[in-house]
Amino acid sequence: MKKIYCFNNGGKVRCLLAIALAEDGRIIASNVCNTEEDMPHDLGITSTWKHNIYNEYFGKNNWQLEWIDDGTRNLGFQKALELNSEKDEWERV
């Protein structure tokens, strides 16, 4: 099962950027949210939003979403960020 790491990539109130980062370092979905509390829903953790994108990328239901509160404690997320830093500029977090 492939991992997709979901997290708040910053911003200001009513303009926060939620990111879904695949374990291979590619950003596969994002959403501008009003609050951090909206992010799990808008990225599909507590809804079916974006599931079509995840199915297209990894295959139908061959993925698992994980919300990241503290990325420093998650080695898989750290590896995905490292792989992301090797991508072209437009693909980076």
Task: Note if the pTM is more than 0.85.
Answer: yes
Separation of alpha carbons 55 and 49, rounded Å: 11
66 class by beta-carbon count within 10 Å (0-12 exposed, 13-18 middle, 19+ buried): middle
Instruction: Assign 21 to helix, strand or coil.
Output: strand
Please give the pLDDT value at position 90.
Answer: 63
Separation of alpha carbons 54 and 11, rounded Å: 24
Please give the pLDDT value at position 89.
Answer: 64
- pLDDT of 52 > 90? The answer is yes
- Which distant-in-sequence residues (6+ apart) come within 8 Å of 86 by Cβ? 25
- 63-67, strands of its sheet edge to edge: 27-33, 15-22, 2-12, 63-67
Separation of alpha carbons 60 and 74, rounded Å: 25
Average pLDDT, the chain: 93
